[in-house]
Amino acid sequence: MIRVEQLSFSVGDFRLRNFSLEVARGRYFVMLGPPGSGKTLFLECLCGLRRAWAGRIFIDGRDVTTLEPRARGIGYVPQDYALFPHLSVKRNIGFALRSGRHSSEDISAKVATIAEMLGISHLLRRNVTGLSGGEKQRTALARALVMEPKVLLLDEPVCALDEETRQSVCALLHRVQRDLELTVIHVSHNLEEAFSVADSAAILNQGVLQQVGALDDLLRKPDNEFVAHFMRCENIFSSAAGLKLAGSHRGKIKMMIRPEDVVVLRAGEHDSKNENEFGVRLVRWRDYGGYVKVELSGRLNLVAHLTHAAFARLKAESGSELIAVLPPENIHAFGV
């Protein structure tokens, strides 16, 4: 288990403030945030490359706050992998073992085992500079895993890969984490990546942790407007929008509804009046392959994601008059 208590540190003008977090043993945790939010700094602080000026870090109950990186039992895969260009794939993977008291035969055996697990046995004699992105990623992962760490930190591990390789590497990461029962912290700015691997996640912005929880909670129950925006919700309204909610809320609030939860009907298609129903005009639409993104204007400006079948049923073009329904149970309110 990883426990971070009130961690604070600064680099230049950037500060990570009162950062507290707990990741249970054997969980795959994804730290999301826009570029420059402090994700990499947080990882570097966890693995000891940066010294915090306040707070404590515990790994499996052991206080590692002041320990050197090599004494923390953490495997680290940095962004762009940082494979040693003067060493072959085999020597890169065996690098950590050569720091300890391992015989050559022992090192060779361990390297062969990990290489086979990650499907890179055929690359062992190669120079790292000639590897593809996916091969580099697997080599960097093997280099970190060969020490048999309890915790694995991954800094944007698939951001430089093409879509197909990204999916296969994400599947590999997930499998490795399950097989080795690792606790993984994976930082990324990519939502699809998080959904493909994460058990739970957090969102970081400007050095401040915005929300921690299950991905579905981040998606449907954001704590604030930043989280809602980051989770790609464009339908955010003030309380003055006059929408009815399923529950009662006190104080100043904002409301959001996910684009896929907005119901769009043809005018005159239905007979009973729904709550939160109003007329809208179709401004524009665009086919994104898996869904159709529809922009609507009216009493509220809305974005809806419709299936192809639902959009086809509307028989709508730009300028068509439609009905939008925002079911109260799908509207989430958060404090301002």
Partner 1 sequence: MATTSNSPWRGWRDIIFIAGAFFFVAVFVVFVLLLIIADAFYIDKNAVLTVLNSNFIRHALWMSIWTSFATTFIALLFAVPIGYSLSRYRFPGRILVDTVVDLPIVFPPLVAGLTLLVFFAQTSLGRWIQDDLGLEFVFQRKGIILCQFLVSASFAIRSAKTAFDDVDRRFENVALTLGCTRWASFRRVSLPLALNGIIAGCILTWARAFGLFGPLLIFVGSFRGRTEVLSTTIFLEQSVGNIEVALAVAMLMILVAVIALTTIHLVGGKTQVHPSGW
Residues that bind partner 1 (CB under 8 A): 44, 47-49, 68-70, 72, 74-76, 78, 80, 82, 84-88, 90-91, 94-96, 98-100, 104, 107-108, 124-127, 143-144, 147
Our CA dihedral for 83, 36, 190, 20, rounded to 10 degrees, sits at 100
Phi, psi dihedrals of residue 286, rounded to the nearest 5°: -150, 135
Nearer to partner 1, 62 or 98 (CB): 98
CB of 128 to partner 1, least distance (A): 8
Nearer to partner 1, 130 or 279 (CB): 130
Nearer to partner 1, 108 or 167 (CB): 108
CB of 49 to partner 1, least distance (A): 5
> Edge-to-edge strand order for the sheet containing 2-11?
14-23, 2-11, 54-59, 62-63
Are the beta carbons of 279 and 325 closer than 8 angstroms?
Answer: no
CB of 82 to partner 1, least distance (A): 4
Instruction: Map residue 166 onto helix, strand or coil.
Output: helix
Nearer to partner 1, 47 or 185 (CB): 47
CB of 86 to partner 1, least distance (A): 4
Q: Is the dihedral of CA 205, 211, 212, 215 positive or negative?
A: negative
**Residue whose tokens read 């309890």:** 150
CB of 170 to partner 1, least distance (A): 22
CB of 78 to partner 1, least distance (A): 6
Q: Render the burial of 232-255: b for 16+ CB within 10 Å, e for the rest.
A: ebbbebeeeeebebeeeeeeeebb
Cα 298 from chain centroid? 34
> Edge-to-edge strand order for the sheet containing 208-213?
74-77, 151-155, 183-188, 28-32, 200-205, 208-213
